[in-house]
Amino acid sequence: MGVLAAQTRFMQSQRRMELPLSELPADLFALAMKCGQDLAHPGAGTALATCKDRYDEAATRSGLFVRLITAMRRAVIATLSFERAGLALFASGLAAASGQTRNAVVLACHEAHGATLALSLRAAGLDLAAVERQVMLISVLTPGVSEAAGLGVSDARARLAGMAG
């Protein structure tokens, strides 16, 4: 239930074009705090300290998704259906199943990165038909998708690792 509430709050924030500091991933939160210290006037130290004290990455929307995915264990395969899981859960599930970061998976969902998405899905263990279905739902089929979808799981993981490094 907490994940649904967090997703609802996130969508409301998106409509208002806001993102609370407390929802930032840890690395971005640390960067925001550093920028705040560098740019703020002397009296802002208390506000920044309060933000740091209240920040809990596990309570963020992405933290809750990670906890949900971890609790699902082998059932995480159910999140690899875009039409059933939605983008947020799909991205978290695919990241966990393929060994990538969630950010990398979200970028792979862009229509220009269909081959990367296919590699990710294949690395997660989906078969050729399932990979092609998910890619067609998310992006236009681009060159390289069929080749990527036809790779073995270990070959797909190796190519993804080569792209990340």
Average pLDDT for the chain: 88
Query: What are the pLDDT digits (tens) for 74-119?
Result: 888 899 999 899 999 999 999 999 999 999 999 998 877 888 999 9
Counts for the chain of helices (H) and strands (E), in that order: 10, 0
Q: Is residue 121 part of a domain?
A: yes
Taking residues 36-47, what's their average pLDDT? 80
Token pair of 11 as six digits: 């969508």
Q: Which residue has the tokens 């966990």?
A: 96
Q: How many domains does the chain have?
A: 1
Q: Is residue 42 part of a domain?
A: no
For residue 143, what pLDDT band results from cuts at 50, 70 and 90?
A: low
Q: Is residue 17 part of a domain?
A: no
Pairwise pLDDT comparison (5 vs 1), residue with the higher score: 5
Q: What percent of the chain is predicted at pLDDT more than 90?
A: 42
Pairwise pLDDT comparison (41 vs 134), residue with the higher score: 134
Query: What are the pLDDT digits (tens) for 18-37?
Result: 988 888 888 899 999 998 88
Q: Is residue 31 part of a domain?
A: no
Q: Is residue 27 part of a domain?
A: no
Question: What pLDDT does 45 receive?
Answer: 81
Res. 123: pLDDT tops 60: yes
Token pair of 14 as six digits: 């998106």
Query: What are the pLDDT digits (tens) for 61-70?
Result: 989 998 999 9
Q: Is residue 70 part of a domain?
A: no
Contacts for 44 with CB less than 8 Å, ≥ 6 apart: 36
Res. 141: pLDDT tops 60: no
Question: What pLDDT does 140 receive?
Answer: 61
Query: What are the pLDDT digits (tens) for 144-165?
Result: 677 777 888 888 888 888 887 6
Range of the domain at 154: 89-164
Question: What pLDDT does 43 receive?
Answer: 75
Fill in the amino acid letter for 88.
A
Token pair of 146 as six digits: 């069929």
